[in-house]
Chain A
Amino acid sequence: MLEVKDLHVTVEGSEILKGLNLTIGAGEVHAIMGPNGAGKSTLSAVIAGKDGYEVTAGTITFEGRDVLEMEIEERARAGLLLGFQYPVEIPGVKNIYLLKAALNAKREAEGLGEIPAPEFMKLIKEKIAFMKMDASFLQRAVNEGFSGGEKKRNEILQMLVLQPRLAMLDEIDSGLDIDAMKVVAQGVNSLRAEDRGILLVTHYQRLLDYIVPDRVHVLVDGRIVKSGDAELARELEDRGYDWLLEGSEA
């Protein structure tokens, strides 16, 4: 479903991704791991269309479409959704507004009409209960004054409501205590489906105890230097990244 070929990306003149290749098929959960500064967050940000990244070479194809030619919102509506590492606070914009506007935008792209209000409310109530969130949260401004855990839950809630084709989760585990991590992992696992891909970007193996990936890739210095199954994550936990760093420099 997603194919990244020979992707080169520069940020403010310095090259961060240096020929990255990645293929994610429907129904698969991939994890990208790597040391800080390897370019993990850059990959998901470029796929989502964030400003400030220049693609100098390579292609990104999603279900046959050239992702780099699509507007940010088009990508999201096509089902490419990024859960942020640092969700931005949006004072004054109620969560309920964001959820409804986003869902209707997606439905419009799919040729469906606006979601009827009762149906929307039923859906939302079900999802916030699943994420163990209080209903009052819907009237609160997006992420404003939220704890780290609440922000991450909110990212997953948006995924549950918007049902992406490919969910990309950037360091969704950072700043979470173990209970919050379990809730977040439960949310992500509930997204697993035959027609959906999931891309986890993480620094630590811990998350992968709760969300077991099909494939693990190690990103070092802008390239994927090693790929394997869930076992690779455990090996990284034991051995760290150094043995791979040396390999990449050789």
Chain B
Amino acid sequence: MNDDVQRFLDRLAERQASRGDEPTWISARRQAGAARFEALGFPHRRVEAWKYTDVRDIARTDFALADDADFSPAAAATLTLPIEAHRLTFVDGVYAPALSDLDALPAGVQVLPLSQALADNHEAVGGPLGRLTGVEFSPFAALNTAFMEEGAVVRLAPRTVVEKPIVLQFLSRDGERQVMSHPRILVEAGGRSEATLIEHHAGEEGAANFTNLVEEIILDRGAILTHYKLQEAPLKDRHVASVQVEQARDSRYTSFNLNLGGGLVRTDLVSDLNGEGAEATFHGLFYGQGRQHVDTHTLVHHNAPHTRSSENYKGILDDRAHGVFNGRVVVKRDSQQIESEQSNANLLLSDRAEIDTKPELEIYADDVKCAHGATTGQLDEEAVYALRARGIDEQTARGLLTLAFAGEVMELVDLDAVAERVELTVAGKLPERFNLAGLVETATALNED
């Protein structure tokens, strides 16, 4: 075993020593996670799924674990999405009750910190926790399982419709030490329930932490979940997310995976369409600058007939940023009448930016309709000219067109607060003096007028 793995296991042992007694099922899962992580080690680039993503920066850093959730309310307020919501906030992975708001949860909805669910040995966690995104999912999921202590549990009783979105906010601090957190999100949506979940990652500019997130989402028959992930973590943060969704008959899962921040970002998003009529829609936007590395691997299992999936990812890469998109679709034998479409369009703003994009279709049935396409290009020079001919300087023209490219994903977003934040963030990533953010605000004001 190498030193890097040992260092993480040492941290785990320290944490264990300071932790009180736990139910045996929890410590058993923890041990299984640790054992699996120890056996696998960190993924290396010889493994196909990690070919383009080098995680040595994570492996070699000596991360501490945070013990408090202090965060200035004023600073938090500037980061928090301006939206009425049921909200849980975590600071470096630690639950922050002062920045959370769970008053007025409607009947049939449970939203609680994982620490509380574990402490209470809550029925919500006993069965499902680790069933989907288990220790076999990846070395990172195994590591998460070994460390799991905080996160969120969301449970919807059958037929419950939650009007306000549920926001899970993760804030990263610029502290004396680099810290790691292993949050875990468990969503169980009962039959024909309906909700919007917003997962929001942000933080202090100088932060350089590691978030190793695991999510398990179970949608019962006819449940509808819209899942926004707005990842605008500080540019030195590392972010690994392992998400698995299980979909019963007629359920609908819509993902908006919006990755604008983070230095090293890897997302694995998997959906199992297990019942007829189940539908998964993945929208994605990633924007990398500097040396940002943003890797997204998606996987849809069409395990039942009459299931549908569609996927549309857009990437914008500038400077020496590196994007990876791998979209895999597996159609199981005898899963007939499947529809699946996938597209990935990328905009390269610099000669040194790089994108590796790959669709992978594995079809073991014959009555299926699958389409996929990937494009990579530059901005439309005709449009650049048309804008310059109105007096707009070249960089602003290119900025406007870049914003427009991102806009094609964002116009599908129903939540204005999310769409505007993304638009402002993308505009803000453009050279400052051009003040496209001001433009966005004007358009917004005009809209409300």
Contacts and interface: CB of A to CB of B under 8 A. Distances in A.
Interface of A: 48-51, 71-73, 76-77, 81-82, 84, 87-88, 90-94, 96-98, 100-102, 104-106, 109, 114, 117, 120-121, 138-139, 141-142, 158, 162
Contact of A76 (B388, B401, B439, B449): B388
Contacts of B446: 96, 121, 138-139
B389 interface: yes
B3 interface: no
A77 B439 contact: no
Tell me the interface secondary structure of chain B in the complex: helix
B125 interface: no
Q: Is the interface of A mostly helix, strand, loop or mixed?
A: helix
A51 B385 contact: yes
Contacts of A117: 441-442, 445
A180 B76 CA distance: 53
Given A93-B387, A94-B443, A162-B390, 18 more contacts: A48-B389, A49-B389, A51-B381, A72-B389, A73-B389, A81-B391, A84-B386, A92-B406, A92-B407, A93-B401, A97-B403, A101-B390, A105-B390, A105-B391, A117-B445, A121-B449, A138-B446, A139-B443
Q: Which of A105, A138, A142, A162 has most chain B Cβ within 10 Å?
A: A105
Q: Which of A48, A87, A98, A114 is packed against the most chain B CB atoms within 10 Å?
A: A98
Interface in B385-411: 385-394, 396, 400-401, 403-408
A158 B401 contact: no
Contacts of B383: 88, 90, 93
A93 B380 CA distance: 12
Interface residues of B, number: 35
A84 B389 CA distance: 10
A92 B389 contact: no
A104 B400 CA distance: 14
Interface string B283-301: 0000000000000000000
B173 to A, nearest CB: 35
A31 B396 CA distance: 33
Contact of B404 (A81, A91, A100, A114): A91
Interface of B: 380-383, 385-394, 396, 400-401, 403-408, 434-436, 438-439, 441-443, 445-447, 449
A105 B392 contact: yes
Nearest to A49: B389
A28 B209 CA distance: 66
Nearest to B438: A114
B396 to A, nearest CB: 6
Contacts, number: 111
Nearest to B439: A97
Given A84-B386, A90-B383, A139-B446, A98 B401 contact: no
Nearest to A83: B389
A18 to B, nearest CB: 25
Contact of A72 (B385, B401, B405): B385
A90 to B, nearest CB: 5
A90 B381 CA distance: 11
B391 A102 contact: yes
Contacts of A104: 435
A172 B272 CA distance: 56
A101 B449 contact: no
B403 A105 contact: no
Contacts of A142: 386
A75 B388 CA distance: 9
Among A72, A88, A98, A104, the most chain B Cβ lie within 10 Å of the Cβ of A72
26 contacts: A50-B385, A51-B385, A72-B385, A72-B389, A76-B388, A76-B390, A82-B389, A88-B386, A90-B387, A90-B404, A91-B404, A92-B401, A96-B443, A96-B446, A100-B438, A101-B387, A101-B434, A104-B435, A105-B390, A105-B391, A106-B391, A121-B446, A121-B449, A138-B446, A139-B443, A139-B447
Contacts of B385: 50-51, 72, 88
B400 A97 contact: yes
B400 A120 contact: no
A109 B390 CA distance: 13
B449 A92 contact: no
B391 A109 contact: yes
Nearest to B381: A51
B391 A141 contact: no
Contacts of B393: 73, 105
B431 to A, nearest CB: 13
Contact of A101 (B389, B394, B396, B447): B396
A99 to B, nearest CB: 9
